[in-house]
């Protein structure tokens, strides 16, 4: 975030891109901001790391890959929900 600056313009606080001068966020004078709250913890995925596969895949291997992909999707979606709830990313 080294390229983000802040400035006061007509009593309003603005955050801007210091390279282009473009306003990123403007907070109007008198605006009361909600306090930042810590989001709930997101647990790490507990699936074991995959080993080197030397033979052809069997159905159990394919199912393990699908299970891991689904777990990753669920964790990524949980992270996105938390970021949206914190107002860090938009829908």
CA 33 to chain centre: 21
**Each residue of 48-69: pLDDT tens digit?**
676 666 677 788 888 888 988 9
Of 54-58, 68-72, 79-83, 85-89, which gets the smallest average pLDDT? 54-58
26 & 38 share domain: no
pLDDT attached to residue 85: 83
5 & 39 share domain: no
47 & 85 share domain: yes
Residue with tokens 């306090």: 35
Number of domains observed in the structure of the chain: 2
Domain range enclosing 9:
1-32
79 & 89 share domain: yes
Mean pLDDT for 73-84 is: 88
Query: E strands of 1-91, at which residues?
Result: 4-9, 12-17, 23-27
16 & 60 share domain: no
Residue with tokens 């596969």: 53
pTM: 0.43
**Each residue of 7-50: pLDDT tens digit?**
999 999 999 998 898 999 899 988 887 777 777 777 777 766 76
26 & 53 share domain: no
22 & 52 share domain: no
Is the pLDDT assigned to residue 74 strictly greater than 70? yes
With contact defined as beta carbons under 8 Å apart, do 35 and 22 qualify? no
28 & 45 share domain: no
48 & 76 share domain: yes
């Amino acid at each position: 975030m080294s390229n983000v600056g802040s400035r006061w313009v007509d009593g309003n606080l603005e955050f801007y891109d210091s390279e282009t001068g473009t306003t990123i966020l403007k907070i109007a004078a008198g605006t009361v901001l909600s306090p930042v709250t810590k989001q709930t913890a997101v647990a790490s995925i507990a699936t074991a790391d995959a080993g080197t596969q030397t033979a052809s895949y069997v159905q159990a291997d394919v199912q393990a890959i699908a299970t891991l992909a689904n777990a990753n999707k669920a964790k990524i979606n949980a992270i996105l929900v938390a970021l949206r709830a914190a107002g860090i990313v938009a829908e």
